[in-house]
Chains A and B, each alone.
Chain A
Amino acid sequence: MEEVQKRSVCSGINFRSIRDSRFKTARISINFLLPLKKETAAKNALLPFLLTRSCKKYPDFTKLNEHLAELYGAELDADIQKLGDVQMLSIFVSGLADRYALHGEKMSEELSRLLCDVVFDPQMSDRLFPEEGFEQEKRQLMETLDSEFNDKQIYAFRRCQEIMCSKEPYGLSRLGTKEEIKNLKRSDLTAAWEYMLQSAPAEIMVLGNCNPEPVFHSFSDAFAKHGRANIGNYKGCVVRKAGETKDITEKMDVVQSKLVMGFRTGCAEPEKAVPAVKLMSAMYGGSPNSKLFLNVREKMSLCYYCSSSFNPIKGIMFVQSGVEKKNIGRAKDEIIAQLDDMKHGKFTDEEIDEAKLSLCNLYHTVSDSLEALEGWYLSKTFSDPLCTPEHEAETINGVTRSQITEAAQKVELDTVYRLTGERGKFK
């Protein structure tokens, strides 16, 4: 594997690549970074899905998909994520490396050309995307929101984030609301597309078994042709203190109740204290050997899952669990009690070493998957774009006991969210 390389394509457009012939595939993505705002969330979210539906060269959904099928089922898809308060619009292609094509096709050239085609050369008439595809993608985006409601674990987690971060962009839906999507007009999408190409910063990632040079040149030619101006520069906000605890219970006809608790940790990347928070969260609820797993699940038998996760960009930590309605209070008390133990340094040196091993194992595994590598480097965009997982592992290993306790002491409970129901109780 080669080291990660970073260069600039043009103003605001960065290019990172890792060439690695251990993979049988290549993955190329362009990820546009826009401020997450209520007025623009829905149109920005729709845009990459609309772009990957067809393009001037393959003007029809079926034609485009036949082309992908011929390229050994290459994948062309879009995704919307939040990187803190930034809305990231991703468009990616992934497919076999040249070596494995059965008829000598130049796969990585094909993939890179296709990605540029859909991003820069969409099918348009009178500066509008085709009506039929536009309506289809609107419907599908609204159905994505419906489907997130169907999964109660995801739904409860999202509700807690919304309530906790209601005064920050992060509290907004990454896709906008159904109402906002429904009200979009085709001209909104033209404007969003033009703004994205002209002014949005973007991160291009080229990973795996392919030569990044031609990809770099394709993108620099395309951006040069399109022109860039008024490049945006967005950063998120970090709320350090919790204030008064928000406590919300919502009812639904569910069998198992969900408990989600949101905490402010008082620090975010790239601050020096972040590795200690990561380690603290791992010891607290990050593995089957963590305090939450061993106590709330194993000792008290209250749940099947109870775990913590830390978002280093926003400096917030969540604990999630699925419990019987009558046990929510006991579970919550125990979750708080275990955090108090962390604050008071009630943990062994062994627990520290074990959490370090477990986290480092995860970091060292990143280089085995192109999706994981892409996710890793994109998450580091605003803090340290060339920070390798191996380097992060070293930093984690340097964290001391007192740093862990200090990190825990800064943690403040911000929001308690419960989704409760008793469906089937008297069955």
Chain B
Amino acid sequence: MSEIEKIKSARTDDLYYTVNHPSGLKIYLYPKKSSSTFAIFGTKYGSIDNCFRRSDETEPQTVPNGIAHYLEHKLFESADGDAFVRYAKTGACANAYTSFDMTCYLFSCTSHFYDSLEILLDFVQSPYFTDKTVKKEQGIIGQEIRMYDDDPQWRVMFDLLGNLYHTHPVKIDIAGTTESIAKITPELLYKCYNTFYNLNNMALCIAGNFDTDRVLSICDKMLKPSKPVSVERIFAPEPESVARTRSEEKLPVSLPIFELGFKEPVSGGRASSKELAETDILLKALASPASPLYRSLLDDGIINEASFGQQYFEGPGFASVIFSGESRDPDAVAERINQEIVKLRRDGISRKAFDCAKNMIYGSSIAALNSVSNIANSIISFAFAGRELFSYIDAVAEADADSVMARLKTQLRPETSAISIVRPES
């Protein structure tokens, strides 16, 4: 029998259920009045998992870069056809994505939900890789890689990650390279599939209009219990320092673009909901449109509102704060941000800046609950990081300025920062 727990949030009027299914799968069910229903089935397996050891094997295995993404593409095909063709019969809008640390298969629909759910659970559990089908995908993914080669935003991000990280595979392009994907074989795909697509390493999240009992009975029918195998991700030791402090590349762009990163030391697990909330507030206090920093950058004409932003980029074995945008003078932006960080360390956060930042993060967290796809995507990525959505919102509402300031002990350290710039060619 499944164990079911109800998670309620008085602040948002919402609730969801977490289910420990006997197959080993964690299931999250978020009922919501909505025309569409969104389902996402994912594995804690992404582009950074290129070296691992299974608990039932002694030797670690190294696999070609880009294989998690390749596997995502190939899983849509099975012996009796393509999953998109099956979804076409239900009208669901289906897709999938591979990130640094997870691979997810999803659909949204307004009718035939249970049929689509069966398709999702079936094809993700039915790998089918042959020499012929694997070869065919090289042309398609090759063009996907080349599309990203022309994307200055993508290039400036990976240039930065290459600056920040010495060894961590987060610096490698998610899709790999045309050379690395040429080494992918059906055997390697099966190896990765059988290691990471174990239900104990996966989660299913559904948000929208559905009947909980009916979903669980479909899960009972469709889920194939997995062997209790666990997997250890192996990363080479990553020094605290950055690999290099700057990089520049030329591409056909009209205006330079930049990313400025502050690497932080990572030991052990992922950031908690509370730490994440505090960092989000800290970054808004420092650099939101209501901040003095933002105003001075704008007044000097070195950022624009459409592109300037900041994010906390955090995952297994990596964590950095990244500022990004278009600028005619990226180094001047970096210098100003660094000065403002020094000031923040020295003077602390004003009451007003703290309240503004907290309100902004609170507002956007509540507004995100309008959308079933936001909800389901957040819950699954939080689940893989050991976090819980409503505790994050509570942590935002209850945050205090001292704890937010304490994040500066490990964050926004100038000695571990780096910049990457993409400039126009002529």
Contact = CB atoms under 8 A, between A and B. Distances in A.
Q: Which of B137, B146, B307 has the most CB of A within 10 A?
A: B146
A286 to B, nearest CB: 11
Interface in B162-192: none
Contacts of B11: 100
Contacts of A357: 88-91, 111
Contact of A72 (B140, B251, B363): B363
Contacts of B305: 140
A152 B150 contact: yes
Contacts of B84: 288-289, 293
Nearest to A351: B88
A147 B307 contact: yes
Interface stretch (B23-31, B217-225, B285-293): B285-293
Interface string B359-374: 1111110110111100
Contact of A143 (B94, B255, B356, B360): B255
B267 interface: no
A139 B306 CA distance: 12
Interface of A: 22-25, 61-62, 65-66, 68-74, 94-96, 99-100, 102, 132, 136, 139-140, 143-147, 149-153, 252-256, 287-289, 293, 297-298, 301-305, 322-324, 354, 357-358, 360-362, 364-365, 367-370, 423-424
B128 to A, nearest CB: 15
B143 A73 contact: no
A24 B12 contact: yes
Interface string B27-38: 000001111100
Contacts of B251: 253
B93 A362 contact: yes
Contact of B91 (A23, A253, A298, A354): A354
Q: Which of A73, A152, A252, A255 has the most CB of B within 10 A?
A: A73
Interface in B362-407: 362-364, 366-367, 369-372, 397
B301 A139 contact: yes
B35 A66 contact: no
B111 A150 contact: no
A96 B366 contact: yes
A145 B306 CA distance: 11
A254 B139 CA distance: 18
Q: Which of B152, B290, B306, B360 has the most CB of A within 10 A?
A: B290
B91 A73 contact: no
B146 A324 contact: yes
B248 interface: no
A370 B298 CA distance: 30
Given A65-B294, A102-B359, A256-B146, 18 more contacts: A25-B370, A61-B289, A65-B290, A100-B11, A146-B255, A147-B306, A252-B252, A255-B150, A287-B88, A302-B139, A303-B140, A304-B140, A304-B144, A304-B147, A361-B36, A361-B110, A367-B35, A370-B370
B151 interface: yes
A150 B140 contact: no
Contact of B326 (A61, A102, A147, A298): A147
Interface residues of B, number: 77
A242 to B, nearest CB: 29
Nearest to A63: B290
B56 interface: no
Contacts of A69: 284, 288-290, 356-357, 359-360
A256 B149 contact: yes
Contacts of A146: 253-255, 326
Given A62-B292, A136-B298, A140-B304, A323 B143 contact: yes
Contacts of B371: 368-369
B86 to A, nearest CB: 10
B275 interface: no
B191 to A, nearest CB: 24
B366 A72 contact: yes
A74 B288 CA distance: 13
A322 B147 contact: yes
A225 B5 CA distance: 57
5 contacts: A72-B366, A301-B139, A305-B147, A360-B111, A368-B371
A140 B306 contact: yes
B307 to A, nearest CB: 7
Contact of A62 (B35, B149, B290, B372): B290
Contacts of B255: 143, 146-147, 150
Contacts of A369: 370-371
B150 A61 contact: no
Contacts of B292: 62
B36 A302 contact: no
Which 7 residue pairs are nearest across A and B when measured between Cβ atoms? A72-B363, A357-B91, A301-B139, A73-B360, A69-B356, A146-B254, A364-B110
B122 interface: no
A68 B294 CA distance: 15
B141 interface: yes
A299 to B, nearest CB: 9
Contacts of A132: 299
B88 A73 contact: no
Given A25-B367, A102-B362, A297 B326 contact: no
B363 A95 contact: yes
B213 interface: no
B328 to A, nearest CB: 9
Q: Which of A144, A289, A361 has the most CB of B within 10 A?
A: A361
Nearest to B357: A69
B366 A100 contact: yes
Contacts of A287: 88, 93
A73 B359 contact: yes
A303 B360 CA distance: 41
A358 B370 contact: no
A150 B257 contact: yes
A144 B254 CA distance: 10
A66 B290 contact: yes
A383 B299 CA distance: 43
B360 A24 contact: no
B346 interface: no
Nearest to B292: A62
A25 B363 CA distance: 9
A73 B109 contact: no
B281 to A, nearest CB: 11
Given A22-B34, A147-B307, A354-B88, A255 B149 contact: yes
Contacts of B146: 255-256, 322, 324
B8 interface: no
B140 to A, nearest CB: 5
B369 to A, nearest CB: 6
B136 A96 contact: no
